[in-house]
Chains A and B, each alone.
Chain A
C-alpha cells in the first residue's frame, strides 16, 4: 500500500496542471449562472472541448491507435480531479467520450471506428444515449422502441426519455427492440442514429430545478442503415451493458474535489451566518454535521482510490466499487441539506435574487442533488446489484 503518487503519476499531473493553467477558461462558474442562452453556453463548451482535443487530453484512456492517450485508470482519475480542482468547464461531448466511444472501440466495426471516433474526440459531433423509455426505467430491458428490417435499413418507431444533451446531439446510441418474440433481454439491438434524420423529434423536459438538462426523443419511421448496428443484431443488451459499466466506473473522482470545494465555501459562509447568537461555524450541532460531511467526502475519495487500485491490480472491480454510486448520491443529498441548515432562510433564495449567496447556487444544488439517487441507476437498483452480484443473495425480481 502506498498512497503517494508514483513519479509517473506526479509527472502526468504536473504536465496536466501546467496545460490547464495556460488554457482553461476561468470564468466558467460565473458564465454558468449568467443568463446566456443554452445554445450560447453550449457553443462555448464546444470550443473548450476543441482546445482540450488539440492539447491532446481528449479521450485520455482510449487506445493510442484511436487517437487517445492510452492512459491508466489512475491518470484518468487525476485528469478528472484536476479539471474539478480549477473549476474547468465540463466537456459537452462527455457521452461520446465516456460511453459511446468506448462502446465503439469494444464492439464497433473498423468502418464505424474510422467514421465516428475522431469526431467524438474533437467535439465536432455530439452524441446522446437513447436508453430509458417512459415504461422502461429501472427495468431497462422492457424497452419497446421497435426497429424492423426493411431491405438494407431499419425502420425505427418509439420514444426515449431522460436523454442528456438530446437537443444538441448529432448522433444517438439507441437501444431498440429487433425481435419482439424473443425473451426481453435477447431481442435488443444497438443502433447509431443520425439525429438529423427525418422523423426524429426532440422535446425539452423541464426538471424541478427549472432547467432542461434532459430531453424526450420521438422516433417515427426513422430510417437507419444496417451498417449502423453496433455488435450483432439481437445482442444489444451486452453492448448496452458494457456502456453502463463505463458510466458507473466513471463518477466519483471529480466529485470528491467538487464536494470539497463546495465544503470549503460552506465553511466560509458558516462564519458569516448566525445561529443561536453566534456564527454558525461555532454552533456545536452545525460543527457535528459539517464534520460528518467532511468525513464522508474523504471516505468517498478513499473508496474511489481503493476501487481504482483494485481494477488496476486485478482487472476486476471489487466490492468497494459497487457502493460508489449509492455513497456519493446519498452523501450529496445529506451535504446539501446541511448547507441549507447553515444558510438558514438565505438558502432558499435563487439566482433571481440579489440577496442570494453565490448567485443562488445553493438553492440549485439542493434541488439538483435530489435527482442523484435516481439518475444512472436508482439507489434501489444499486442495492439490488450489491445484494445479488456482490453478496450472492437471490435475485429479487
Chain B
C-alpha cells in the first residue's frame, strides 16, 4: 500500500502549480470576476495548449487520458489559484457527463472539441426545488418527429452564459434522460443568478419547446441515471480537490499574516489563541486532502466503497473549507473583513462549493444510507 503521490503525479502537481500561479494570479482572478462570464479567451487557449482541457478524456478524443488521482491533483492547484471561468463546468460537468453517457460518435464530436479548447459547456441538473436527487428532475422532454422538445426551467447552472452547449437532465415520461442542447437553440433563455462567489457564475435557464436533435440524445432510464451519478461523483471529487487547494492557500495566507502582523510588540502568531486556530486549519486541510485523494482513487478503481468515499470527502470538506476560511478571516482581524484583502474570495468560494452537489448534511444522510442502513 502506498498512499502518496507517485513521482509523475507530483510532477503534474508542480507543473499545475507553476502554470496557474503564473497565468492566473489573484489580480487576474479579481479582474475576471468583475466581468459577465469570468471567461478569458487567451487563458483558455493556454490551458488547452497545456492539455488541461483534455485531462480526463481518452487519447482518441484528443485528451491526455489521465486517471482521477491525476485529475484531483490538477484540480487542487486550480482551486488554490481560485481559477475563475468555465473550466470546471466544461471538463468536469459536461465533459464527465458525455464521457459517461455518450456513444462513441457523441464522445468523439463533443469531447474532442472540449479537449482541443474549442468548446465550453456545462451541465444543467438542478431545478426550482434545488434538489440533487435524480427524481427531482422535471424538465419535460417530449418526443417529436425530429428528436425531442424540452420545456421547463433549470436553476443554479454554472457558467451557462460562457457555454457553447449544455448537457441537460430531463424527463421523458417516467424516465430520466440526458440531452445535449446548443446554447443558441431557439426557445432557450439564459439569465444570470447573481450570487456571492463571483468567480463562478450561476444562471437560470428557461426552456420553451427547445428542439434537440436525435443525435444529441445521450441516454435514457437506468443508463442515464448511472451516467449522471458517475459524472456527478467525478465532479464532486474534482470539487473537493479544488476545495483542498483553496484551503491550503487560505491557510498559508493566514499563517503568513500571523507571522508578520504585530500587536503588543509580538507577531500575533506567537499567541496560542491565534496559533491554535492555525493548527486547526492544518488539521482540517490535511484531513480533507486524505479524504479527497482516497475518493479519487476509489472512484478510479470503481471500488465498492467509492460512493461512501465521495460522500465522506464532500461532507468533511464542505464543513472544513468554510471553517478554514472562517478562521483565516478571524486571524486577519478587521483587514480580513475588507474587500481589498483576498481571504473573502476564498471564503465565498468555500460557501458556493459547500452548496454545490449537496452540502455536508446531504452527504451525511447519503452516507447513512450507504453504511449505516447496510451494516
Contacts and interface: CB of A to CB of B under 8 A. Distances in A.
Contacts of A5: 1
B46 interface: no
A294 interface: yes
A6 B279 CA distance: 34
Contacts of B308: 298
A290 B278 contact: no
Contacts of A291: 315, 364-365, 367-368, 371-372
Interface stretch (B4-12, B87-95, B212-220, B226-234): B4-12
Interface string B350-371: 0000000000010011011001
Contacts of B312: 294-295, 298-299
A287 B365 contact: yes
A324 to B, nearest CB: 10
Nearest to B292: A302
B374 to A, nearest CB: 10
Interface string A89-132: 00000000000000000000000000000000000000000000
Interface string B254-288: 01001100000011011110011011101100110
A395 interface: yes
Interface size class on chain B is 35 or more
B3 A302 contact: yes
B316 interface: yes
A326 interface: yes
B294 interface: yes
Contacts of B316: 295-296, 299
Contacts of B5: 1
Contact of B283 (A267, A268, A308, A326): A326
A327 B287 contact: yes
A5 B3 CA distance: 11
A212 interface: no
Interface in B302-323: 308-309, 311-312, 315-316
Interface size class on chain A is 35 or more
Contact of B361 (A264, A288, A296, A310): A288
Contacts of B266: 394
Q: Which 8 A-B pairs have the closest CB atoms?
A: A387-B275, A291-B364, A302-B290, A386-B279, A383-B279, A393-B269, A287-B368, A394-B270
30 contacts: A1-B9, A3-B1, A3-B298, A5-B1, A284-B365, A287-B364, A287-B372, A290-B372, A295-B316, A298-B308, A298-B309, A299-B290, A299-B312, A305-B290, A306-B3, A309-B1, A312-B2, A313-B4, A319-B286, A380-B272, A382-B279, A383-B280, A384-B279, A386-B283, A391-B255, A391-B275, A392-B255, A393-B258, A395-B270, A396-B272
Given A2-B2, A281-B373, 10 more contacts: A291-B367, A306-B286, A308-B3, A309-B3, A322-B282, A323-B283, A392-B259, A393-B258, A393-B267, A395-B270
Interface of B: 1-6, 9, 69, 255, 258-259, 266-267, 269-272, 275-276, 278-280, 282-283, 286-287, 289-291, 293-294, 297-298, 308-309, 311-312, 315-316, 361, 364-365, 367-368, 371-373, 375
